[in-house]
Structure 1
């Protein structure tokens, strides 16, 4: 259950990790939308202004052709600028309108400055036309308008980027605070609340997410505590009948059946004691009794007394502050696991504050390497086909009480390709540089 809780919180932390690029993604999104809107509005405004100017030019050309027509009909002379009679360059579309007896205007746009045409039928059957270009002043106005639109669009995009950075940065900071608090919860700090960690006055979806994570953590914590209490109660209740069973087995007459019964009774008593120890470690109530010891000398003496066949190498002696009883428990559990699931020779190396236990067996299973030891993992997934048992779980729990770090890895030849079978397994205990007082441990005066 504890591993399940850690995986859930870790999944939340990974999802919250989008904060690293959130501000830039949000800024880019706002800038893109702003650019699209600015371009669309610029096109609409440019086209509307151009159409309006062309309409004005056509109206002006229409007024001029009317004046030119009256002057021509009164004086009989063509004395108005830019007017011609039966101009051969008159656009076909405009000529068709005039031949219907209508006065009309026409805009000829051939990629450059548009040409403005106006034509009117005369009483004598001829066609009077007026040809003028788009004025320079109108072209300058359009250029100034386009420049203003370009400056406005650029300012809009830059402003959108700045707004995205501000909004994204605020949201990113809140998510980072939530991820940090969730990491602390996953690390076992029960007094941390994600909602309080992110702070803020205005409530948003981040607060809802933080509240949901807090509720999930509380529910899982309660289930873990209930599980621990049930496990401890069951193990405690089993101690008395198991002790009685072992005592009764010792009274049986000598023989192979008696040896089998006594062996199973002792194994059951060991299992009950291990379950009780796991329950105590899960409750986080265990405290180390710290003493100063020479690590290499301590390990060599205890390992040799436990199993003379184990090779011990002290490459660098170091004085450490730790709990000798708990350190011995971790060391013996690692040796027992190597002897049960690995293959000889078993080697113990001490280098400074690091103790390494290595065997030459089939290696640790991948799920243990990925998620650490778990008492719930049994079956063929283990390298010996019998599960991890409680030994590695207890070793990891005692290492936490010592403020140490226990890691597991498989040993492969240097430069071996992926998929190469391991040549053994190595468990490495990293003792802290300073006394682990943050675990509630306390020093014990030497005798």
Structure 2
């Protein structure tokens, strides 16, 4: 059952899987960017400090040599005219300073000191430093890309697992809502870990069980009331038939028969609301069956068999469905009433005002006809037709014909029997 549920699950671009993976990818990118900037900045400062320290050491040795010989040595320069202005301003009598000139490529590191009113300075090109930073940036870009890709893959994996469990739970919940109470959302979700998805599945199962028990209790009450009313109503119908002829007697007899029909319909609806109804299958020709049953009921419907088909289904329930559709068209529509058999598909159409929008959108509602111009009624005929069609696993669709009138379509293609030619 779990495999059957998961095969029907479509991937959605706005699903939780993509949201989780996108969030992890963005966070991974921001973390990689921040770490790369921090590492680049720290490495750059460390290299600058190392170069400054190297130039300062060279300046120390140059000062010692100058104090001994009175001449600059070790690549030192006395009063260098190219000394950067910033470094020149930083030097005070008896003080020394370092400076890195980034305006040149590659940058140049300086160290200078004031000696007896003269400026002794050394300089060095930072070639290796730029190479190190370039290599570091290359590694950082590659590492950041790998981190983002790994984070995205991890997000897809986590999001897919979570999204799949939630979609399976949603699909199982829809199946339960459609009337299949044999499915448990917790079993469909699966897994041994207890997480929020498991809690949600357990909550849905608990709610479904509570609603099922409540509906079953209401169904039993309805069935019991209708069953208890059958005996007195049957006696009422019999007693009404014994009344002397006349208009009052006809009215009593008519209302008694209507009441008996209503009770029988309520009993049938109560049975169909249960889960134990099973069809008794027989194989027969659909077109011939529809013609014979409608001819026997004198419905006045116009029958057209475009394409004959043999079906394997319950003839009693099928007769009930078609009879209720024709009776609904006759009571609430206008003639002509057309019944068309096109292979395993049966269409019933009238030329009245059509079905109300709420019936087309939500299906028939018991004790509601939905539109005043379609006449009064209990709304049980179409409800019974839908219930019997559900037992036969045959989709029953209600719509309005483009040229006017109500149109009901019963699809028995799943019950079609292929006959060898």
More off after superposition, 303-312 vs 14-23: 14-23
In structure 1, the partner of 2:257 is 266
In structure 2, the partner of 1:115 is 108
More off after superposition, 381-390 vs 177-186: 381-390
In structure 1, the partner of 2:124 is 132
Superposed displacement of residue 387, structure 1? 6.8
Q: Please give the root-mean-square deviation of Cα atoms over the aligned residues, in Å.
A: 2.8
Structure 1 residue runs without a partner (length 5+): 1-13, 414-422, 437-447
Q: Deviations over 1:335-387 (max 9, x none)?
A: 111122222211000111211101122222222222322216x2655762647
TM-score, structure 2 normalization:
0.88
Q: 1:381 to 1:41 in 2, by over 3 A?
A: farther
Q: Deviations over 1:208-240 (max 9, x none)?
A: 111111111101111110110111112122223
Higher relative contact order (CA 8 A, sep 6+): 1
Q: 1:111 to 1:228 in 2, by over 3 A?
A: farther
* Alignment map for 1:357-436 (pairs within 5 Å): 357-375=348-366, 378=368, 380=370, 384=374, 386=376, 389-412=379-402, 423-434=404-415
Q: 1:38 to 1:388 in 2, by over 3 A?
A: farther
Distance of 2:76 and 2:405 partners within structure 1: 101
Contact 1:363/1:383 (<8 A) preserved: no
Contact 1:117/1:131 (<8 A) preserved: yes
Superposed displacement of residue 15, structure 1? 11
193, 197, 209: which one pairs with 1:206? 197
Distance of 1:137 and 1:325 partners within structure 2: 94
In structure 2, the partner of 1:224 is 215
More off after superposition, 265-274 vs 147-156: 147-156
2:19 maps to 1:28? no
Superposed displacement of residue 297, structure 1? 1.7
* Alignment map for 1:185-334 (pairs within 5 Å): 185-307=176-298, 309-334=300-325
The alignment covers a number of residue pairs equal to 410
Contact 1:19/1:173 (<8 A) preserved: no
More off after superposition, 285-294 vs 192-201: 285-294
Distance of 1:38 and 1:149 partners within structure 2: 8
In structure 2, the partner of 1:96 is 89
Q: 1:127 to 1:18 in 2, by over 3 A?
A: same
TM-score, structure 1 normalization:
0.83
More off after superposition, 143-152 vs 354-363: 143-152
More off after superposition, 17-26 vs 217-226: 17-26
Q: 1:342 to 1:162 in 2, by over 3 A?
A: same
In structure 1, the partner of 2:336 is 345
* Alignment map for 1:46-65 (pairs within 5 Å): 46-65=40-59
More off after superposition, 159-168 vs 33-42: 159-168
2:35 maps to 1:41? yes
Q: 1:261 to 1:178 in 2, by over 3 A?
A: same
Distance of 2:323 and 2:232 partners within structure 1: 27
Superposed displacement of residue 122, structure 1? 1.7
